[in-house]
Amino acid sequence: MRWLPLFLSLALPFGTLAAKKPASPADTFNDFHTKAISTTPVKLADKSYKKLTASPRDYSVAVLLTAMDARFGCQLCREFQPEWDLLAKSWLRGDKNAESRIIFSTLDFSDGRDTFISLSLQTAPVLLFFPPTIGPHAVPGVEGPIRYDFTNGPLLAEQVHAWIARHLPGRPHPAVKRPVNYVAWAVGVVSTLGVAGALAKAGPYILPIVQNRNAWAAISLIGILMFTSGHMFNQIRKVPYVAGDGRGGISYFSSGFQNQLGMETQIIAFIYGLLSFSAIALIMKVPRVADAKKQQVWVLLWSAILFLLYSFLLSIFRIKNGGYPFSLPPFM
């Protein structure tokens, strides 16, 4: 008599399993969770994707739809994949009992062409988050998946982690743990020691170079010329090196006061450098030429450079700033 309820309760799951073909959400979760323990994120195909995201869910799913094949040339996918793997792994490690009930999975375009078509996706990667539809964590009113925006900022596991954690309130959010890169540390330490040792050994030969005034002067001038010709702007804004002019040619100077091209800044730095150099030559070199004739030639040469280049510089500046009224003779 006392055994009967127990038998019945034991038989109940079997009964439901036999009666209903589609697996219960809990089973699906367990199924995929065991898969996840061996390899996370779970690699999906069309069929398993449908099964995992089928509607009555008491668990959450995060699917990264990606296109890793070299044919698609998806730079973003390849950059993000290691971060995604890292996030899935550290989540699984931090949540051993699967209390957060989330499955991390990846669907590659080559395995899931139909899914891509059915979602009418034009771009990759796309990160979808399926909240649970039943159970204690179900979000009422949310039907379809929530899509993560890949438009802003660099793709870091931490940012995606924060996004997922926002959608999983009240459950554990194991933090992203980046593995210690032992190789990088070893390489760093060895190379530091190596460089230090080499410096100590080669010190007597290097010291004259380090103490050479001409070298420092050159370094300083190059630095100043680089910074004053907008190198940092190129770095920060990542401007193109050259641009087309719309007629098949190359335009070296972008019009507009607030933008510039990589090539353009190099031309400007070169002009500044030559102008400075001619000024330096006139100040330092010319008065030290002992021969009067030679000196005359040098003066003429450097003044010509000074005059022509400055006139040229002004003409370039007039391209950038339309209303600039000043100019000097040759390039009016």
**Which residues would be at the binding site for other proteins (CB under 8 A)?**
149, 151-154, 163, 166, 211, 213-214, 216-217, 220-221, 223-225, 227-233, 235-237, 257-260, 264-265, 268, 271-273, 275-277, 279-292, 295-296, 299-300, 303, 306-307, 310, 313, 317, 320-321, 323, 325-326, 328
The least distance separating other proteins from the CB of residue 328, rounded to whole angstroms, comes to 7
Number of H helices and E strands in the chain, helices first, is 11, 7
The least distance separating other proteins from the CB of residue 326, rounded to whole angstroms, comes to 6
The least distance separating other proteins from the CB of residue 206, rounded to whole angstroms, comes to 15
The two structure tokens encoding residue 70: 């070299």
Q: Which amino acid is at 158?
A: E
Which are the contacts of 281, defined by CB distance < 8 A and separation ≥ 6? 298, 302
Residue 24 to residue 126: CA distance in whole angstroms? 28
Residue 142 to residue 132: CA distance in whole angstroms? 9
**Which residue in 331, 327, 276, 278 sits closest to 305, CA to CA?**
278
The least distance separating other proteins from the CB of residue 131, rounded to whole angstroms, comes to 13
Nearer to other proteins, 93 or 166 (CB): 166
The two structure tokens encoding residue 278: 């001619």
The least distance separating other proteins from the CB of residue 283, rounded to whole angstroms, comes to 5
Nearer to other proteins, 18 or 292 (CB): 292
Residues in the chain: 332
Residue 239 to residue 197: CA distance in whole angstroms? 40
Nearer to other proteins, 42 or 74 (CB): 74
Nearer to other proteins, 30 or 311 (CB): 311
Residue 71 to residue 316: CA distance in whole angstroms? 43
Nearer to other proteins, 180 or 284 (CB): 284
Calculate the CA 168 to chain-centre distance.
27
Nearer to other proteins, 54 or 280 (CB): 280
Nearer to other proteins, 169 or 246 (CB): 169
Helix (H/G/I), strand (E/B), else coil: 157: helix
Nearer to other proteins, 243 or 299 (CB): 299
The least distance separating other proteins from the CB of residue 217, rounded to whole angstroms, comes to 4
Residue 49 to residue 106: CA distance in whole angstroms? 9
Sign (positive or negative) of CA dihedral 307, 311, 314, 316: negative
The least distance separating other proteins from the CB of residue 144, rounded to whole angstroms, comes to 16
Which are the contacts of 102, defined by CB distance < 8 A and separation ≥ 6? 59, 60, 61, 62, 91, 164, 168
The H or E element containing residue 43 is strand 42-44
Asked whether the beta carbons of 171 and 101 are under 8 A apart, the reply is: yes
The least distance separating other proteins from the CB of residue 196, rounded to whole angstroms, comes to 11
